[in-house]
């Protein structure tokens, strides 16, 4: 289904849409305060961008270096060309260790590969241990945000969910009470798990190690008790040197949630004594994106979610309307690159305001790429005739001064006299959620000329 169709239910629920909008804008404002508190913020962004561009230009070499150093640390390294192979590799590792129960920390890659339903289908108990992820898992929903997976759910709804699945008091909505209930529930799962699966925020070619960032410490606990740790990593997560981490760790938490540093930045360099560690390196279309000069910079993304928190369309339409593991502006580039036929409407869920580009910590030119993506889809003949015709009409209007002037004069007159139903009706989809400003009596050009004449008379 298209983005407008999927967003319709969320948009029509005005109280929820407004609350969702405010909640994400609150995070955006926190991000701004944190960014302004770092004088060298723009220098950090520039440095991060340069490191990522360099890494992508040498990615095969750095991947080989990472594999060599990880193996030297005693890590088993696997390569997966796509999501199916990734799932198969994880399944085989779990089978070899007679695993029945798995605890998993937040990983957008495993969401992208649909690992949970695959493992559950094969008889494993899989428990997401991030609180937000656990809430959406109990509600049988996908995450709606890559950092704040349950941002679309109110505390009263969490109370209902926990009452149904965890046996908490009916009607309870106190955050402390619900968090305590979740903690006790997850503690049991941690203690009985046979294996822990994590994502990877950053991997280091220089050392063969990797870093996982969480605010709840669930990744640490999830891999500290079981003797098997499987880390699932997209190949774009690589950094050349350990010293590069200093740049990215300062940017990540400030951009994601407006906090100075992630509470837990856990460094893994090989398995613990008596334990086993595996890393699955996943391509799943990334090599193809790397070969595209137009879109390869989208691989620089560090999954902070800042572009979602600021995007006016995402804030008002909700994450599920994107039908993708990664929603928002960056998802509207990455997803149509993989499945253009199914997600051709996503690049149009954008006002091209450029706010996403302004906040991106690695300076991805998101709104330019979204515009380029529209051309990419047009070349694939995936744009509807109504969209193409309307764009041709506007192009013709803006290309001829007399047409633009005449149309503007006619619109200013008509909008003052037409009855409301003639403007706001089912044929005007734009007007369903919007109100035009009161039309001025004269155009800006006329007002400017009058002002200039008046100023000239005075002088």
Rounded Cα gap, residues 195 and 97, in angstroms? 9
> Of 2-11, 14-23, 85-94, which has the strongest mean pLDDT?
85-94
- Contact between 296 and 93 (Cβ < 8 Å): no
State the pTM of this model.
0.87
Write out the E strands in 243-288: 264-268, 276-282
- Contact between 55 and 240 (Cβ < 8 Å): yes
Rounded Cα gap, residues 11 and 8, in angstroms? 5
- Contact between 369 and 375 (Cβ < 8 Å): no
Q: pLDDT tens across 221-277, in order?
A: 899 999 999 999 999 999 999 999 999 999 999 999 999 999 999 999 999 999 999
The region that residue 455 occupies, defined by phi over 0 for left and psi between -120 and 50 for alpha, beta otherwise, is: alpha
Q: Looking at residue 168, what DSSP letter applies? A: P
Q: Which domains does the chain have, with CATH numbers?
A: 38-284 (3.40.50.10420), 397-455 (no CATH)
Q: How many helices (H) and strands (E) does the chain have?
A: 22, 10
> Helix crossing, 41-57 with 59-72: angle to 10°?
90
Q: Looking at residue 91, what DSSP letter applies? A: H
Query: In the numeric block, which tokens belong to residue 415?
Result: 């909008």
Query: In the numeric block, which tokens belong to residue 21?
Result: 């909008």
In the predicted structure, residue 459 carries a pLDDT above the cut 60: no
Rounded Cα gap, residues 287 and 269, in angstroms? 26
pLDDT category, 426, cuts 50, 70, 90?
Answer: confident
> Helix crossing, 155-165 with 175-192: angle to 10°?
40
């Amino acid at each position: 289904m298209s983005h407008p169709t999927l967003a319709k239910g969320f948009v029509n629920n005005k109280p929820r849409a407004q609350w969702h909008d405010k909640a994400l804008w609150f995070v955006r404002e926190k991000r701004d305060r944190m960014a302004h508190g770092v004088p060298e913020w723009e220098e950090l962004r520039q440095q991060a961008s340069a490191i990522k561009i360099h890494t992508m230009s040498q990615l095969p070499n750095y991947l080989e270096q990472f594999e060599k150093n990880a193996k030297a640390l005693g890590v088993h390294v696997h390569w997966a060309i796509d999501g199916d192979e990734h799932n198969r590799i994880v399944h085989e590792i779990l089978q070899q260790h007679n695993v029945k129960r798995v605890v998993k920390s937040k990983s957008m890659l495993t969401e992208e590969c649909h690992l949970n339903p695959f493992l559950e289908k094969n008889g494993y108990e899989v428990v997401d241990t991030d609180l937000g992820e656990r809430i959406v898992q109990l509600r049988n929903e996908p995450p709606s945000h890559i950092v704040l997976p349950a941002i679309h759910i109110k505390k009263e709804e969490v109370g209902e969910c926990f009452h149904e699945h965890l046996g908490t008091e009916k009607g309870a909505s106190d955050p402390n009470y619900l968090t305590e209930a979740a903690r006790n529930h997850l503690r049991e799962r941690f203690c009985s798990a046979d294996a822990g699966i994590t994502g990877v925020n950053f991997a280091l070619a220089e050392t063969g190690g990797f870093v996982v960032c969480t605010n709840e410490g669930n990744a640490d606990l999830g891999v500290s008790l079981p003797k098997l740790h499987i880390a699932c990593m997209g190949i774009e997560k690589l950094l050349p040197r350990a010293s590069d981490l200093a740049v990215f760790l300062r940017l990540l938490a400030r951009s994601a949630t407006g906090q100075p540093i992630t509470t837990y930045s856990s460094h893994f360099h090989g398995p613990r004594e008596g334990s086993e560690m595996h890393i699955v390196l996943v391509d799943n279309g990334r090599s193809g994106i790397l070969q595209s000069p137009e879109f390869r910079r989208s691989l620089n993304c560090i999954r902070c979610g800042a572009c979602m928190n600021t995007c006016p369309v995402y804030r008002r339409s909700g994450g599920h309307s994107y039908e993708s593991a990664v929603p928002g502006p960056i998802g509207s580039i990455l997803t149509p690159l993989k499945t253009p036929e199914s997600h051709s409407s996503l690049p149009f869920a954008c006002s091209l305001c450029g706010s996403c580009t302004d906040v991106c910590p690695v300076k991805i030119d998101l709104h330019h790429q979204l515009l380029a993506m529209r051309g990419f889809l047009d070349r694939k003949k995936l744009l509807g005739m109504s969209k193409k015709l309307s764009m041709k009409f506007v192009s013709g209007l803006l290309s001829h001064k007399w047409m633009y002037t005449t149309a503007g004069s006619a619109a200013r007159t008509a909008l003052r006299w037409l009855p409301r139903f003639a403007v706001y009706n089912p044929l005007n989809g734009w007007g369903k959620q919007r109100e035009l400003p009161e039309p001025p009596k004269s155009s800006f050009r006329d007002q400017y000329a009058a002002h200039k004449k008046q100023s000239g008379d005075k002088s």
